[in-house]
Amino acid sequence: MPYAAESERPVTPALTPFTVEDLYELAWLEDVRVSPDSRHIAFVKVSVDRTSNGYRRAIYLAPTGGGSPRRLTRGSKQDWQPRWSPDSKSLAFVSTRDDERGQLYRISLAGGEAQQLTALPNGASDPAWSPDGAHLACLSLVNEEERRREDRGEAPPAPTSSWEARRAREQRQHDEERRNDPRVITRLPYRSGTSFFDDRRRHIYLLDLPEDDVEMPPPARRLTDGDLHYGPPAWMPDGQSLLTTATRDPEADSLFAYYDVLRIPVAGGKPTTLTSAGFSYFDPQPSPDGRMIAFRRLSEERLLAEGSRVAVIPAEGGEIIDLTAHTDLNVELFRWHPGGQGVLFCAGWHGDAHIYGIGLPGTPTYRRGETLVGGRRIVSEFDVGPDGTLAFIAGDLQNPCDLYLRTPAGEERRVTAINQALLAQRQIAPIEELRFAAPDGEEVQGWVLYPPGFDPKQAPARQLPLVVHIHGGPHIMWGPGFRSMWHEWQVGAGAGYIVFFCNPRGSDGYGEQWRDAIRGRWGEADGPDILAGVAALVARGQIDPRRIAVTGGSYGGYMTAWLLGHTDQFACGVAARGVYNLISHHSTSDAHELIEIEFNGYPWELAEELWDHSPLAHAHKINTPLLLLHSELDYRVPISEAEQLFAFLRRQKKVVELVRYPREGHELTRAGEPDHRADHMRRTIAWLDRFCR
């Protein structure tokens, strides 16, 4: 297949395999934005700060006409969310340079110091310029009492010295700790990420900008009210109103659903709700002429099965037209076409993610569409300029992440080479696409990485061990360009393992029917797909069937434990942040809807069915050595899941270990402390070596 041919490079003594230590050298890119004059691209580069065991985010600029990118912001650990002024002469962004909660700043493209624009008590985020460049809208957290004080014009006096400022910060920290001691819980979910929610909600603020960089802007004024969460604001082209989303029902107990699109007058007045129940709506964006509004929407009945679609509605309200439902694609991100005749969107398909265009009714590409950026790669983000310039971030089998540009004429070039120094020293493991038949005859797509120097076309001198990786979600899609796993797969191959992963039933990128096939059938519908891939590889004679390991995170952790409870063919397993008890997971996770929707009911109605589909119910049949890796502040899949499985296995004197990572949440392997991420990989490889060498 093409993957194998494209990924092979000659082995030379100068090249060495990837190791865990390379994690500290690999950077990635985020939040690409094309300037309104289409002359520059702003983006965020994320790099590991080994000294602080954290990350640095800095804003860079790249000229669209050619030339090297340059760093625009310095001196702060975190600068992100760059947003262009309408005249393309400056950027607003969020930074922690003076406040760990983040405030808004403005910096000129000509250089110089960034100007602080906000000093909101709970920080600010998601800046949005008004069309005339005179205002910025943003989000900030605030509770009912704080809103009352704002409405009365009460504000604490500004500190007159650094000593007073330090004392004020210490007093605020003390007051915050006391305010939630004890913590009173009245809603679900009450925690997410690595922290608990409080009574503050996201509200929209408006900031009048000074004409120069010297004068401090007046305090931002709040445009919204109520016990609601509002989404990031987007200006209508006439500058008279903002688009946003807001919680439809504060009592709905949901992180992911029940949001409507609202239009909010800037001069004051009651918001207009443009959508209604049946769907949840996200990311509203007006057309360039302001006549239409586009947004992503999810069916509330099939919140996870159908995926996200792009739809449009007249700006004054009316009939909603779904533009992408017929494509059977799950839309991750979209932008209006610069001419307003349609939208561009990004979606995954068969292990790749491309940028597509589709027109409004009456245009040539309505319901037909076109592929603007294709190829064997995964596009993670993109933006489009007024002249049609496309800037996008993508990863492929040779390179986990870089910025690319597509000109209006359709020519493409790479803009950055952020990891070139490291990649030039490493032997990238060759990769092969593998399509195989599941037991029911359905074709499944997977990929195989081989240790550097191994030739899959020749009979091996000795059979090698295999490690099977299983993705989470459960409704996501892996492919060779999946950035957050790229390095981990390379490390496994570099350690001498053949690495296999696939997109079994339930995965995104193969249409709604494939995605929805595991509904009510977790483990039963997708487990055979994975095992069929293992069998297809073993049949080639390259793999020692006694030395096969399985690993995965989140739903992949679930599947790892499920498979170990239903077969003894694996030599060992590593399950990370997995769901093991569907009954307890429903009531402790911030994503309780997952169980309700996937099994079409509640635990008190489906206790027997949920228990039977829980790996914990089959733990007594696990004879395979199992390593459990879990974060102590994981509120998506609480650590109690791992504690239960560990106790079940330990009480039976099975070979099991539980590793607990303090301070970490569900995103440990993607955005956790670098030392913890490295430890996670080292322990995984060491466990595999212990039982597969």
pLDDT in tens, 291-332: 999 999 999 888 777 899 999 999 999 999 999 999 999 999
Q: Look at residue 501 and tell me if it is in a domain.
A: yes
CB neighbour burial string for 219-231, b if at least 16 within 10 angstroms, e if fewer: ebebbbeeebbbb
pLDDT of 563 > 60? The answer is: yes
Structure tokens at 383: 């933006």
Residue 7 — pLDDT band, cuts 50, 70, 90? Answer: very low
Report d(CA 616, CA 624) in Å as an integer: 14
Q: Is 259 helix (H, G, I), strand (E, B) or coil?
A: strand
pLDDT of 166 > 90? The answer is: no
Rounded alpha-carbon distances, angstroms, from residue 331 to 121, 282, 334, 356 = 35, 11, 7, 10
Q: Is 692 helix (H, G, I), strand (E, B) or coil?
A: helix
pLDDT at position 388 is 97
Rounded alpha-carbon distances, angstroms, from residue 639 to 310, 553, 634 = 36, 13, 6
Mean pLDDT (whole number) for 137-146: 96
Q: Of all residues in the chain, what percent carry a pLDDT higher than 90?
A: 85
CB neighbour burial string for 252-279, b if at least 16 within 10 angstroms, e if fewer: eebbbbbbbbbbbebeeeebeebbeeeb
pLDDT of 6 > 60? The answer is: no
Provide the total of helices (H) and of strands (E) in the chain, helices listed first: 14, 38
- Picking from 347, 335, 417, the residue whose alpha carbon sits closest to that of residue 378 is 347
Q: Is the pTM of this model over 0.85?
A: yes
CB neighbour burial string for 613-650, b if at least 16 within 10 angstroms, e if fewer: bbbbbbbeebebbbbbbbbebbbbbbbebbebbbebbe
Total tally of structural domains belonging to the chain = 1
Structure tokens at 555: 């739903």
| Amino acid identity at 427 | Q
Q: Look at residue 423 and tell me if it is in a domain.
A: no
Q: Look at residue 179 and tell me if it is in a domain.
A: no
Domain that holds residue 567: 429-692
Report d(CA 571, CA 550) in Å as an integer: 8
469: domain CATH number? 3.40.50.1820
Residue partners of 189: CB distance under 8 A and separation at least 6: 197, 253, 255, 589, 590, 591, 592, 635
**Greater pLDDT, 259 or 218:** 259
Reported as type and span, the H/E element at residue 203 is strand 201-208
| Amino acid identity at 371 | T
Task: Map tokens 């593998």 to a residue.
Answer: 434
Q: Average the pLDDT over each of 410-419, 447-456, 659-668 and give the range with the smallest value.
A: 447-456
- Model confidence over 402-440: pLDDT tens digits? 999 999 999 999 999 999 999 999 999 999 999 999 999
pLDDT at position 214 is 66
pLDDT at position 545 is 97
- Model confidence over 510-523: pLDDT tens digits? 999 999 999 999 99
Q: Look at residue 600 and tell me if it is in a domain.
A: yes
pLDDT at position 12 is 53
- Picking from 435, 457, 456, the residue whose alpha carbon sits closest to that of residue 444 is 435
pLDDT at position 95 is 97
What is the rounded average pLDDT for all residues in the chain? 94
Structure tokens at 690: 């212990």
- Picking from 585, 479, 672, the residue whose alpha carbon sits closest to that of residue 48 is 672
Cα dihedral value 550, 551, 554, 555, nearest 10: -20
Rounded alpha-carbon distances, angstroms, from residue 368 to 212, 342, 392, 661 = 48, 12, 23, 49
Report d(CA 404, CA 402) in Å as an integer: 7
Q: Look at residue 91 and tell me if it is in a domain.
A: no
pLDDT at position 526 is 98
Mean pLDDT (whole number) for 540-559: 97
- Picking from 227, 265, 219, 261, the residue whose alpha carbon sits closest to that of residue 244 is 261
pLDDT of 4 > 50? The answer is: no
| Amino acid identity at 611 | W
pLDDT of 5 > 50? The answer is: no
Quickly list H helices, 357-510: 420-423, 483-494
Mean pLDDT (whole number) for 151-164: 79
Q: Look at residue 176 and tell me if it is in a domain.
A: no
Report d(CA 331, CA 329) in Å as an integer: 6
Report d(CA 504, CA 501) in Å as an integer: 9
CB neighbour burial string for 355-386, b if at least 16 within 10 angstroms, e if fewer: bbbbbbeeeeeeeebeebbeebbbbbbbbbbe
pLDDT at position 173 is 84
- Kindly report the three-state secondary structure assignment for every residue of 88-148: CCEEEEEECCCCCCCEEEEEECCCCCCEECCCCCCCCEEEEECCCCCEEEEEEEECHHHHH
Q: Look at residue 549 and tell me if it is in a domain.
A: yes
Q: Other CB atoms closer than 10 Å to residue 217's CB: what's the count?
A: 18
Angle (CA) 187 190 194, round 5°: 175
Structure tokens at 253: 């107990």
Burial class (CB in 10 A: 0-12, 13-18, 19+), 457: exposed
Report d(CA 445, CA 394) in Å as an integer: 21
pLDDT at position 170 is 84
pLDDT at position 22 is 98
- Model confidence over 236-263: pLDDT tens digits? 999 999 999 999 988 888 888 899 999 9
CB 67 within 8 A of CB 83: no
Q: Look at residue 288 and tell me if it is in a domain.
A: no
CB 127 within 8 A of CB 85: no
| Amino acid identity at 508 | D
SS3 content of the chain, % helix, strand, coil (to 5): 20, 35, 45
Beta-bridge partner residues of 294: 285, 312
Q: Of all residues in the chain, what percent carry a pLDDT higher than 70?
A: 97
Strands (E), 350-462: 352-359, 370-373, 378-384, 390-396, 399-406, 412-414, 431-437, 443-449
Please state the φ and ψ torsions of residue 482, each to the nearest 5 degrees: -70, 105
pLDDT of 528 > 50? The answer is: yes
Rounded alpha-carbon distances, angstroms, from residue 490 to 205, 427, 504 = 45, 9, 21
